[in-house]
């Protein structure tokens, strides 16, 4: 029996997993990627002779998909967890980020780190949680600010939730869907009658084992391992430009910008939503309309390498987050050498730091030249971190339209888009199903499964 052919459009982690899964069940799979490498936001570059992640640098280990894919890529022996833990929130000074929290929602109101961070008024408001009014199962989605701020007070949102949302989504609490930001939270609030209780119940289900993971050499080294072990064909520097029904034989024709059209029994579209909208326009106009309406935030990452002696006051932990209420350009920092032992071992005489800039609706700094952006960020953090010299090297990585923004009722709009897709086409990626490496892997798996029952000519 001739193998069914599957084309996967997009070589980010969702597309790689979709291609791997389709190939594993016996499909003949071709993955097309517009850039010169696969991996999407899993990418490394050389900085001061060190090969470092300049996109995603860790994955959530308490969801299984990321660790499972590392195993499938035959990299289990390289699996690592952070060498230290804990993070800070930078207000007038650094405050410890409470460990007992779920996306900033306190899960233990007696946590000793909370009073200093929230203040007396914030603690009083937290302890007097307004009884939630989230209705029955028919209630629609809410923003994170509506759900959390209305019941626990503005200080919890401003000082805890906002910095975490900024770090994960580059988004804002008054815009992001609670359903998407914390899956299951609304249902848990209905069940427990408390936002704090709901967050605690969700956190307790995943509280075992390390929170984050990576691999020796960084996550940027993982995509090539997936391809090597995956059993599918890759075409880089190849952009899919049109998707049309295949005349007479069923299936699809995928036109590209520099190769012969690809013939496929089924297609997985795993590119950002704004790119998917173009491909879907003529074959699934309602899905294309949903895709074109999804918004994205742009961010920049500033990676700097110092001589170790030139950073004299680095706090304990893995880094810090910065609430937007402070007005600072810097929104987060990672102490890379402290967080990952393999980086420290490569360069024990150096200190690698990484800072992020850019929020949805606040693109300050993204229009600066690279050198100006490095200078602006270091000027903000120099005193806080005790930086006394200039960096040995610096690299700015710009991720334009990279983080999807999940507005209220996002999940319902996505469900509608998928219902209108013709047989043999599936959608995958962060823009549809959520950010984070495990969520993207799950999205790729589910897309592969959705097209898996489609047969040639069916």
In a domain, 211, yes or no: no
Residue labelled with tokens 């997985």: 268
Of 181, 205, 229, the residue that ends a domain is 205
Of 174, 205, 236, the residue that ends a domain is 205
* CA nearest neighbour of 273 among 395, 432, 415, 122: 432
Residues of the chain with pLDDT under 70: 1, 131-140, 206-208, 453-458
Residues 373, 438 share a domain: no
What's the Cα-to-Cα distance from 377 to each of 31, 230, 303, 333, rounded to whole Å? 38, 40, 11, 10
In a domain, 303, yes or no: yes
Residues 388, 438 share a domain: no
Predicted local distance difference test score (pLDDT) of residue 133:
57
Residues 250, 392 share a domain: no
In a domain, 456, yes or no: no
Of 369, 385, 404, the residue that ends a domain is 404
Residue 416, Cβ density class (10 Å: 0-12 exposed, 13-18 middle, ≥19 buried): middle
Residues 255, 179 share a domain: no
Residue ranges making up the domain that contains 417: 5-41+221-294+406-451
Instruction: Give ∠ CA 383-52-229 in degrees, rounded to 5.
Output: 155
Predicted local distance difference test score (pLDDT) of residue 457:
40
In a domain, 210, yes or no: no
In a domain, 457, yes or no: no
Predicted local distance difference test score (pLDDT) of residue 132:
54
Residues 123, 151 share a domain: yes
Measured distance CA(156)–CA(106) in Å, rounded: 8
In a domain, 240, yes or no: yes
In a domain, 213, yes or no: no
Residues 423, 279 share a domain: yes
pTM of the model: 0.95
Residues 422, 290 share a domain: yes
CATH no. for residue 134? 1.10.3110.10
Dihedral sign, Cα of residue 163, residue 167, residue 172, residue 177: negative
Residues 253, 160 share a domain: no
Strand 212-215, strand 79-80: pairing: antiparallel
What backbone phi and psi angles, to 5 degrees, belong to 150?
-65, -20
Residues 301, 290 share a domain: no
Residues 118, 191 share a domain: yes
Overall number of domains in the chain: 3
CATH no. for residue 430? 3.50.50.60
Predicted local distance difference test score (pLDDT) of residue 455:
53
In a domain, 458, yes or no: no
**CA count, 13 A, side-chain hemisphere, 326:** 20
CATH no. for residue 360? 3.90.660.20
CB distance 405 to 171 below 8 Å: yes
Residues 363, 301 share a domain: yes
Predicted local distance difference test score (pLDDT) of residue 258:
87
Measured distance CA(11)–CA(9) in Å, rounded: 7
Residues 421, 287 share a domain: yes
Measured distance CA(113)–CA(100) in Å, rounded: 9
């Amino acid at each position: 029996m001739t193998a069914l052919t599957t084309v996967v459009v997009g070589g980010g982690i969702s597309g790689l997993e979709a291609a791997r899964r389709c190939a594993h069940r016996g499909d003949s799979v071709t993955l097309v990627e517009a850039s010169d490498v696969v991996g999407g936001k899993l990418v490394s570059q050389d900085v001061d002779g060190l090969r470092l992640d300049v996109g995603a640098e860790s994955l959530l280990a308490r969801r299984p998909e990321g660790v499972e894919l590392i195993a499938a890529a035959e990299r289990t022996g390289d699996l690592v967890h952070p060498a230290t833990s804990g993070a800070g929130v930078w207000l007038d000074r650094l405050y410890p980020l409470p460990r007992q929290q779920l996306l900033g929602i306190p899960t233990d109101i007696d946590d000793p780190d909370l009073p200093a961070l929230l203040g007396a008024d914030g603690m009083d408001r937290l302890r007097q949680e307004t009884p939630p009014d989230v209705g029955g199962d028919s209630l629609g989605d809410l923003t994170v600010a509506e759900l959390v701020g209305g019941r626990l007070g503005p200080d919890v949102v401003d000082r805890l939730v906002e910095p975490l949302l900024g770090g994960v989504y580059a988004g804002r609490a008054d815009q992001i869907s609670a359903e998407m930001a914390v899956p299951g939270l609304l249902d848990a609030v209905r069940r427990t009658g408390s936002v704090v209780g709901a967050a605690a119940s969700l956190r307790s289900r995943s509280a075992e084992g390390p929170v984050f993971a990576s691999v020796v050499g960084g996550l940027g080294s993982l995509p090539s391992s997936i391809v090597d072990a995956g059993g599918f064909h890759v075409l880089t520097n190849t952009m899919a430009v049109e998707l049309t029904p295949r005349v007479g034989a069923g299936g699809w024709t995928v036109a590209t910008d520099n190769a012969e059209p690809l013939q496929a029994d089924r297609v997985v579209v795993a590119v950002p939503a704004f790119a998917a909208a173009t491909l879907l326009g003529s074959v699934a106009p309602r899905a294309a309309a949903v895709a074109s309406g999804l918004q994205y935030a742009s961010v920049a990452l500033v990676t700097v390498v110092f001589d170790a002696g030139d950073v004299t006051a680095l706090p304990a932990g893995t880094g810090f987050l910065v609430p937007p209420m402070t007005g600072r350009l810097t929104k987060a920092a990672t102490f890379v050498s402290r967080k990952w032992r393999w980086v420290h071992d490569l360069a024990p005489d150096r200190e690698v730091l990484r800072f992020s800039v850019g929020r949805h609706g606040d693109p300050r700094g993204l229009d600066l030249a690279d050198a100006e952006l490095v200078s602006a960020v270091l000027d903000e953090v120099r005193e806080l971190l005790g930086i006394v010299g200039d960096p040995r090297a610096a690299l700015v990585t710009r991720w334009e339209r990279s983080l999807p923004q999940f507005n209220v009722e996002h999940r319902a709009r996505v469900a509608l888009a998928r219902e209108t897709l013709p047989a043999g086409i599936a959608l995958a990626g962060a823009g549809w199903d959520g950010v984070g490496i495990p969520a993207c892997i799950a999205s790729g798996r589910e897309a592969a499964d959705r097209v898996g029952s489609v047969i040639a000519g069916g």
